[in-house]
Amino acid sequence: MSENPTTPDSPVERTLPAPRDRGEPMFPGGPAADPAGSHHERRIRSFRPRRGRVTAGQGEALRRLWPQWGLDIDGLSRIDLGELFATEEGPRPGLPVILEIGFGMGEATVQMAAADPGTGILAADVHTPGQGNLLALAERNGLDNIRVANGDAIILLREMLAPASLSGVRVFFPDPWPKKRHHKRRLIQPEFVELAATRMKPGALLHCATDWEPYAEQMLEVLSASPAFENSQPDGGYTPRPDFRPLTKFEGQGLNKGHLVHDVIFRRNDT
């Protein structure tokens, strides 16, 4: 289940040559191989570092659009979100920004960004083909409100985003890590939730969705126990699937297997 999607965006496209030395950037001027690896502590991660097969179209998008819309999560500097989402007209101070963690191939990200052009979507993942796919989709759809962050979203939150800077956080179909010995890799844990809370504005929504029942229960339990959040559902349970969340690739795969999907939406408290 934690396999990343690697389907080429066109069956006739040629794949690029295999990766070379460890640590060497695959695309000069594009996303770095391990942007924060040398600066930060070793810690259990919620993802497997995997670059996957990059199609010619994705590679072209990475080379051409990364300098404009890409951000390496190197953990070395604080981001000015108004500057990050600047357009030809200049910076956009005050733009509401939502962080999406683990966008996969980015299809849902693009649909949500298109439906809400007045919100910036900071989309983070480690998956190189998905980064290229999302950049290409953003350009094809004429969207200037998506920025693609490469690396571990925990470092992005902890080191690079200012307190109370985010208008929302989305975590759609995070890797479920079903084996017991891997549960510690799950993203939605008390430490993550408390970190996210510090970076969210009062009233901002933390929206999670999963097709893995035990993980849905964990999400509900961890978020319900956090003093920083309150459930958007008065009955304290799952949120009915909201119309604004498009079907994601992993969700489709889960539904095909007969899995039930749960949305969990909590609001950041004022305190």
Ligand X SMILES: C[S@@+](CC[C@H](N)C(=O)[O-])C[C@H]1O[C@@H](n2cnc3c(N)ncnc32)[C@H](O)[C@@H]1O
Least Cβ distance, residue 91 to ligand X (angstroms): 25
Residue 12 CB coordination number (10 Å): 7
Among the listed residues 74, 125, 175, 211, the single catalytic one is: 175
Check residue 160 for interaction with ligand X (CB under 6 A): no
126 binds ligand X (CB under 6 A): yes
Binding to ligand X (CB under 6 A): which residues in 8-47? 46-47
The nearer residue to ligand X, 54 or 124, going by C-beta atoms, is 124
CA dihedral 36, 39, 43, 48 (to 10 degrees): 30
100, 85, 82: which is closest to 156 by C-alpha? Answer: 100
Q: Could you tell me if 131 and 146 are in contact, meaning their C-beta atoms sit under 8 angstroms apart?
A: no
Q: Rule CB under 6 A: is residue 131 a binding residue for ligand X?
A: no
Six token digits for residue 60: 């072209």
| The two three-digit tokens of residue 247, written as one number | 């079907």
Note the Cα 108 to chain centre separation in Å. Answer: 11
Burial class for 197, CB neighbours closer than 10 Å (0-12, 13-18, 19+) = buried
Q: Is 254 in the site for ligand X (CB under 6 A)?
A: no
Stretch that binds ligand X, among 81-89, 120-128, 135-143, 160-168 (CB under 6 A): 120-128
Q: Which is nearer to ligand X, 81 or 123 (CB)?
A: 123
Binding to ligand X by residue 110, rule CB under 6 A?
no
Which one of 175, 197, 265, 266 is in contact with ligand X (CB under 6 A)?
A: 175
Stretch that binds ligand X, among 87-95, 136-144, 151-159, 238-246 (CB under 6 A): 151-159
CB 34, min distance to ligand X, A: 13
Q: Is 101 in the site for ligand X (CB under 6 A)?
A: yes
Minimum gap (Å) between residue 153 Cβ and ligand X: 4
75 binds ligand X (CB under 6 A): no
Report the DSSP beta bridge partners of residue 146: 121
Give CA–CA dist 104/232, Å, rounded: 26
When asked if residue 192 is in the footprint of ligand X (CB under 6 A), the reply is no
Q: At what angle do helices 128-140 and 107-115 cross, to 10 degrees?
A: 30
Q: Which member of 124, 161, 166, 208 binds ligand X (CB under 6 A)?
A: 124
Decide if 175 is catalytic.
Answer: yes
Contacts within 8 Å (CB) and 24+ apart, 268-271: 268/197, 268/200, 268/201, 268/202, 268/203, 268/204, 268/205, 268/206, 268/228, 268/229, 269/202, 269/227, 269/228, 269/229, 269/230, 270/202, 270/203, 271/202, 271/228
**Given candidates 33, 153, 193, 219, which one binds ligand X under the rule CB under 6 A?**
153
Segment interacting with ligand X, rule: CB under 6 A, options 77-85, 97-105, 216-224, 237-245: 97-105
Which is nearer to ligand X, 159 or 251 (by Cβ)? 251
Residues that bind ligand X (CB under 6 A): 4, 46-47, 101-104, 124-127, 152-154, 172-175, 187, 248-251
Residues annotated as catalytic are 175
